[in-house]
Amino acid sequence: MQGTVRGRNHSQFKIPHMGKLAEIKTKPTSISVESFIDSIADKQKREDSRVILKMMEKAMKEKPKMWGSSMIGFGDVRYKSPATGREVDWFKIGFSPRKTNFSLHLIDLKRHADLLSKLGKHKTGVGCLYINKLEDVDIKILEKIINAACLPA
């Protein structure tokens, strides 16, 4: 059975019963975050990844861990869908340096609308902020968004 979590259809979620913990394929791994970043072929993407990593470490005041093979996450949170009651274990904030852009996972982007309007070139999804490269955005505004995403709603 496929399910919807926080308004998005995720085919990777295996949802056995309503109100139960959904088992997802992307889980924390023992892969080194530094080794992963070092393995990024594009020099600028590697450097930008380190900047984002430092901003998120500072905001969360904890070390990151790899989730799956390409996502860097901070914190452990159990999210419950208000629509279905289904729950999923995930990270509080994180990012993935993808081939075409950075996908920053920052819950409830709607509450950051004022800051997003000042950020620069970006796109948003339900819980993701997409940036091609850091030079496209105002770093200070990005840091404010990341810091605000770490606070309770």
Alpha-carbon span 81 to 87, nearest angstrom = 6
pLDDT value at residue 20 = 67
Angle between helices 139-149 and 43-60 (to 10 degrees): 40
| Domain residue ranges in the chain | 3-149
Q: Which CATH class is domain 3-149?
A: alpha beta
pLDDT value at residue 12 = 41
Q: Which residues of the chain have pLDDT under 50?
A: 1-18
pLDDT value at residue 11 = 40
Total length of the chain: 153
Q: What is the pLDDT of residues 22-48, one digit of tens each?
A: 567 778 889 999 999 999 999 999 999
